[in-house]
Amino acid sequence: MAVPGTLAIYRKQKPTEGGFVSTKPKILIVDDDPDLRKGLNLRLRANHYETSYATDGFSAIAMAQKERPDLIILDIGLPAGDGFVVLDRLQQSAALSAIPVIVLTARDPQFNRERTLQAGATAFLQKPADNSELLNVIRATLNPAWPGTAGAS
């Protein structure tokens, strides 16, 4: 449990012999581009996040159900169910609908930004995303009271 006035970025807790110990926030990366997945994995792990990945829409839903990530980074152009199918399935599941989703895509932002937000995404970023912008959106999404965000006090 977070102490008031502290950053509550470490959300999940695992039981241990001596009580509870915090673990790193888990992010599910959903993208079919292996180079992008590798780059995101390195950046996120360097910033103290756990990562897992899926390469298509079908495995994204299965991984979300199995892993229960704290956040999902989702591409729209995916094989076996595009990002909109994934968003729809997440929203239909009581267990998964509260997981925030950041859409990270190369698709046209003028058409897709509004469509993804209406489908349930928390944020929309255009590829290639600036590293600091992506990390700031992740931090603000996982912890609205993160310094420098609108929810900070």
| Structural domains of the chain, ranges and CATH numbers in brackets | 25-142 (3.40.50.2300)
Distance of CA 110 to the CA centre of its chain: 22
What is the overall mean pLDDT for the chain?
83
Task: Please state whether the predicted TM-score (pTM) of the whole model is above 0.75.
Answer: yes
Q: Is the Cβ–Cβ distance between 83 and 77 less than 8 Å?
A: yes
Report the share of the chain in percent with pLDDT over 70.
79
DSSP bridge pairs for 123: 102
Tokens of 57: 């829409």
* Mean pLDDT of the 39-48 span: 94
In this prediction, residue 41 carries a pLDDT of 95
pLDDT of residue 23: 74
Q: Residue 14: its pLDDT value, please?
A: 53
Given this model, what pLDDT does residue 129 score?
87
